[in-house]
Amino acid sequence: MRISIITATYNSEKTLLDTLTSLENQSYPNIEYIIVDGASKDATVELIKKHCSKISKIICEPDKGIYDALNKGINAATGDVIGFLHSDDLLAYNDALADIAETFEKTGCDAVYGDLEYVSKHDTDKRIRLWKSGIFSRIKMQLGWMPPHPSFYMKRTCYLEYGNFSLDYRISADYDSVLRYILLQRIAIAYLPKILVKMRVGGISNRSLSSMIAKSREDIHVMKKYRIIWPLALAYKNLSKIPQFIKK
């Protein structure tokens, strides 16, 4: 099984080294690594070429935002499975991709997801929040649940059949996509109960109050699109995050 990993970058030199190192240290051998850079003005591209031997392809050109960049990566991918490693994220341990591949092989599923750890922007060993996603159910999804998208790996054939990210959304295209794949198309998914990815806090969806409001508006639009009772789902979606901040 070949796993295609896609990283979208733009002026990412401050955080990208950790991302590249976590990919470089993976024990799983059959990796296709695609970088889609939005014509960075800093040393991002030079950093990529210097510090990662597993690069398969670099696409460097202006784009219409992160989801446009990720779509370019999906279209360029040739692997059996596609996953995303954002430029301020890192794979949580060296066997993460090996465990993902093993789960695909054991279950015969269409997609695998795991848990996500939010870490300090300046110290990736300092946990801020743990998103323990749990086993999927359609009822939970109707209540606003979704798998942590950075931990979501899906067969490339599903992208070919069911489509890429919608550019109608600036922040919530990942939520729209997983609802389309899981709720509408009913792909078979498997939960891998391990922290697969570490994500630095301060992403586009939670960096400010205005960003959170904009995300909620997009989420509501997505919920209406899939006939989810949005007042209930939005409340559950936000309230369910509270236990993630409780350290165990």
For 87-107, the pLDDT digits (tens) are 999 999 999 999 999 999 999
The candidate with the shortest Cα–Cα distance to 176, out of 139, 210, 149, is 149
pLDDT at 49: 87
Domain boundaries of the chain, sorted by first residue: 3-245
Q: With a cut of 60, say whether residue 204 has pLDDT above it.
A: no
The candidate with the shortest Cα–Cα distance to 3, out of 67, 60, 68, 56, is 56
- Rounded to 5°, angle at Cα 184 from 75 and 170: 55
Q: With a cut of 70, say whether residue 182 has pLDDT above it.
A: yes
Q: With a cut of 80, say whether residue 155 has pLDDT above it.
A: yes
pLDDT at 237: 87
For 29-68, the pLDDT digits (tens) are 999 999 999 999 999 999 998 888 889 999 999 999 999 9
Which two structure tokens, joined as six digits, stand for 87? Answer: 């430029």
CATH of domain 3-245: 3.90.550.10
